[in-house]
Chain A
Amino acid sequence: MSYVLQRIAQAVPVLLGLLVFNFVLIHSAPGDPIYLLAGQSGDATYYAEMRARFGLDRPLLEQLGRYLLNVVRGDFGYSFAYRQPVFQVIAGRVPATLLLSASGLTIATLLGVCLGVLSARHAETPLDHLISAGTLIGYSMPPFWLGQVLLIVLAAGLGLFPVQGMTTARGGYTGVGAVLDVLWHLALPALTLGLLQLALVTRLTRTGLLEVLNEEYVRTARAKGLGQRAVLYRHALRNALLTVVTVVGGHIGTLLAGAVLTEIIFAWPGLGRLIYDATLSRDYPLLMAVFLVVSASVIVVNLLTDLAYAMLDPRVRYR
């Protein structure tokens, strides 16, 4: 229990530091900070109002206080490009990104664990070397470029999948048809994201498994006369997966970064697309808020991963 509290207590200053960093960025970027807080296309009355609201005529420390208070209240400002509060714009985009990231992660985990087990069972054979070469290439590819290649070959070339979007425009699908339509659009982006994380999961499963197979409890299980299969799946794999879970959880930032780039290739209407559009239209309040939301989620997921790890592996709690 105290471990849990300790980890949560560690995460709080990090989140606070993130907000302060964001604040410092706003005030050190070239140009008047009001444009970063309130957008670029307002009139004089609007800016006067916004200046008063953010307290720009006040001392910096008070401004920081107001800024923190606003963020905690969920008030991230107003997006000019979308004519909506930033919070609403972001909330509207989160489901698409979540769907994409979760699908990618599922593909990566299922395939990666299988390949990793295969690789470890046949360690130092041609099959293992082939899988290792594959993971090396997967590690080295720019995330978005794989998407571009899949798009060129499978969508534009063979016409197997739609080129972009999340739904068929004017498709008029309802019920099951609509779900299938989304899945059909999801296939390529999810595959892109999944293949990239696949390299990580495969490598971790392989090394984790090979390490665990040398442990005493595995030797005990063998000595008991358990078969190869039982030893591998019931004893070794379970423990190897523990490492996989934590490291994958720790790589949530990479996953989201991959999702952002993938969304742009396939015009997937999530947060990544939003970041891209916000940069183009110089919609700074929106951009800063997306940065905050994404960073905060990464920190929170990291925290949850650590807590899950502590729950699964009692040794951690007593370190």
Chain B
Amino acid sequence: MGAAIGDADPALLAEAGAARPVRRGAASAWTRYRRQRPALVGLGLLAGLVLVALFAGVIAPGDPFRRAGAPLQPPSLRYWLGTDDLGRDVLAGVVHGSRPSILVGLLAALTSAVVATLVGGVAGYFGRVADDVLMRLTELVQVVPRFFLVLIVAALFGPSLGVVALLLGLTFWPGTARLLRAQILSLRHRDFILAARALGVPEWQILARHVLPNAVAVVVVSASLQVGAAILVEAGLSFLGLGDRSVVSWGNMLNLAQPLIRVAWWAAVFPGLAITLTVMAANMVGDGLNAALDPRRGKGRRGR
């Protein structure tokens, strides 16, 4: 990590990873990403799933809540994934259920990334009192068990999908904030930052233009790994019957499938398979980004 930017040794530059100036980094990061087969498979899967979510109305036209045929039909040519106890088409549910899941995953990861950038950026760059206060806050949020926190709020307030996503984002940020802070601490005394300061560039501008862009890799990697985690928590919440009941979601479908488990396995198997596939795709992309962007590769997951 100690490689100065002036050293021309390409191996050392590769080690410095995220700490190099951004533009050059982005191009070579893609080269490094492309070299990993699982990461490419994950990206393809995720792109496919996003397309399904966008065109759900075209792929499975009509209201997924509507009765499509006889109840409890096993998978057949007519109903590919069977029907549930109210005669609703499981395939239509699985297709439309992609929307809330992907939405929650992305929104939660985005919220977490924004909060983490603010907290980690300020704590790492300004240090002193701000650092102390923000790090205590980070520790406080970090130890509260996420699942139970969201569960109790959902039970008391019966929130909508958007609120669940925001809430999840507000519990996911501490890990990212700590990584970002550490990254910024190591950037703060680099030559190009000192040079900017010597030239009289205002502090906030140094932070926004020079420090954050070079530390952003940490946030991107963490956020990508949180997409899947958020989808899983939301599914668990809906499975408990505490999710947003106004949408068809995979978690809701699994909740309804639980009492049918002995008569209609298909009602439980396919929505769960969809969740697994989506989360797996998101994790593959996350791992790929981690290897491509994080100079201390593979360590992004270790912090708790």
Contact = CB atoms under 8 A, between A and B. Distances in A.
Interface in B211-255: 228, 232, 235-236, 239-242, 251, 254
Given A18-B144, A156-B261, A295-B144, A140 B304 contact: no
Interface stretch (A70-78, A105-113, A145-153, A214-222): A145-153
Interface string A235-260: 00000000100010011011011001
B261 A148 contact: yes
A115 interface: no
Contact of B240 (A17, A145, A148, A279): A279
B139 A207 contact: no
B169 to A, nearest CB: 17
A30 B283 contact: no
A295 B235 contact: no
A137 interface: yes
Contacts of A261: 236, 239-240
Contact of B257 (A148, A156, A260): A148
B284 interface: yes
Contacts of A280: 241
Interface residues of A, number: 53
Interface string B276-304: 11011001100100000000001001101
Interface stretch (B22-30, B74-82, B149-157, B188-196): B149-157
Contact of B261 (A25, A140, A151, A250): A151
* Those 7 A-B pairs whose CB atoms lie nearest each other, nearest first: A145-B272, A253-B145, A257-B147, A140-B280, A250-B304, A140-B279, A29-B156
Contacts of A136: 38, 280, 283-284, 287
Nearest to B273: A145
Interface size class of B (residues with CB under 8 A): 35 or more
A141 interface: yes
A145 B153 CA distance: 23
A17 B149 CA distance: 13
Given A21-B144, A139-B228, A264-B258, 17 more contacts: A14-B143, A29-B156, A29-B157, A36-B156, A136-B284, A140-B280, A142-B232, A142-B254, A142-B272, A142-B275, A148-B268, A149-B268, A152-B268, A207-B298, A207-B302, A291-B149, A295-B145
A284 interface: yes
Interface in A292-314: 294-295, 298-299, 302
B253 to A, nearest CB: 11
B262 interface: yes
